[in-house]
Amino acid sequence: DASPCRLLFLDGVLHMANQTDRVFHETLVHPAMFAHPSPKSVGILGGGDGGSLREVLKHKSVTDVTMVELDEKVVSVSKEYLPEISDCSDIVGSKPNCFDDDRLSLIFTDAFAYVKEKKEANGKFDVLVADVNQPENQDEYTDADTVNALVESLSPLGVLVINAGEAPMIVDPRADKGMQPKREAFTKLLEAHPKIASIFVFEDAQSGYVDPVAFLVACRDASCRKNWYGQTDEINYQVFDRLQAMKSKKPALIQFDGATQRSYQVPPRAWETVYCRREPEPFECAYRGLDMTKELFEYYPKNEDESAFVIRESKEGAENDAAVYATVDIPEGSYIMPTHLAASLEVSEDSAKDSNATAHLEGVGEADVLTDFVDYIDENGHSARDGSGKIYVEIGGSRVIRESDDASEVNIRRWVPAHPDGARPKYSPVYDRHRHSFDVFLVASRDIKAGEEIVKPGDLWDY
């Protein structure tokens, strides 16, 4: 049946439409909630329509919610004319109206002033949802003291999420000169804050606005990357395990699931393009794609005539049984066995740990196949630098390359060197978009002559 779409405007700005509120609020709330391992105390700044509150209350772990809304009339008008937005009647364990939930403390005052002045809120919130205006309409996002108060209100594993406004376009100028300079200022304040470890941006085009809406998530601890970069099935299980059941037996969510979160893990190219217009250009922007001026040198075990490498038995007394030798001259900067490395097996650290435990179950006897698998991972795998909890396991000819701590022997290196700052940036759409390639590709660190053994450094994948 057709029904009218009701729109909520605040100070002349479209705030919410009842037909798209679930999409918007699921997108705002759940990526941040699932980035935290078990959020108990949640803060909501603004959100007087009740949509963010409704989504937060779906989480079983939540024990208390503090909502700070400037205008009491926003709540009363929303409850009267947009009652479906604050309807919690289908959520097991909640009241018919979300605002009547016993876990809620509703405070009517300026939300940003409250965070700045209420020192007892420091370290309180596991997740803080800023359901207020986007940065271009909210000057507080550019105030260093306010941003510091937001960060200080987070618990040690706390997560902050905001509606970051209109998503960028690939033709946009440098962010501080474009349509969203306050968002860029806010992002840089977070980057500079010593208690922020990771920042993610993502966007959604289904939230009821003309243009795709951007969102920003900031974490106090880098461990949230493991949750953020979860596999589709992992996140789907978390949704099943962590959300309350619905009395109607309908799905609790209509927008967010594991596949949706996977799409949020890789920001659209416009974010990378605009980020790389910063001055000076960030270091990693030089590695947005393979250098097409460099050659690819492949290993073909069944076609020695075409192969740039050959595997031979090691010299007597060598630690390895075999060694890799170049059959042609390889210029510095050329890619080494890129096809084999791109095919590296991806295994989660949790899976490797569980496999090891299963292989040695007490009273069952060792499972030789699993034991061999775990040993292979240990010998040929390295942890991803992005904190995702993934292990990349080399399965091709590259795994035979000898390691050496003698720098004079070494002739290959990682494609992307270690960041000059010593660690991955807190915020970088480039790293988010190219995590796999940054962690697997190798290049020649100097000119390699035909017949020379290929040797990698012993600390190749150390960070």
Instruction: List Cα–Cα distances, 79 to 14, 58, 132, 264, 280, in angstroms.
Output: 18, 19, 18, 32, 49
Of the residues 21, 49, 101, 131, which is catalytic?
Answer: 131
Q: How many CB atoms lie under 10 A from the CB of residue 145?
A: 10
Which ranges in 98-161 belong to alpha helices (H)?
A: 111-117, 144-152
Of 208, 263, 272, 190, the C-alpha closest to 232 is 263
- Fill in the DSSP letter of residue 367: -
Whether 155 and 124 have beta carbons less than 8 Å apart is answered as yes
Q: For the chain, how far is it from start to end, CA to CA, in angstroms?
A: 58
Q: How much of the chain is helix, strand and coil, in % rounded to 5? A: 35, 25, 45
- Fill in the DSSP letter of residue 419: P
Using CA atoms, how far apart are residues 217 and 34, in angstroms rounded to an integer?
A: 11
Using CA atoms, how far apart are residues 390 and 382, in angstroms rounded to an integer?
A: 9
Which residue in this structure is represented by tokens 């003698």? 406
The amino acid at 325: Y
Exposed/middle/buried for residue 310 (C-beta within 10 Å: 0-12, 13-18, 19+)? middle
Of 371, 445, 359, the C-alpha closest to 407 is 445
The amino acid at 396: G
Of 205, 223, 224, the C-alpha closest to 214 is 205
Q: Is 131 a catalytic residue?
A: yes
365-380 core/surface letters (b: 16 or more CB in 10 A; e: else): eeeeebeebbeebeeb
- Fill in the DSSP letter of residue 252: S
Distance of CA 99 to the CA centre of its chain: 32
Q: Which contiguous run of DSSP H or E holds residue 216?
A: strand 213-219
Instruction: List Cα–Cα distances, 46 to 15, 32, 82, 104, 376, in angstroms.
Output: 11, 17, 16, 14, 52
- 3-state SS class at 103: coil
- Fill in the DSSP letter of residue 4: P
Q: Annotated active-site positions, please?
A: 131
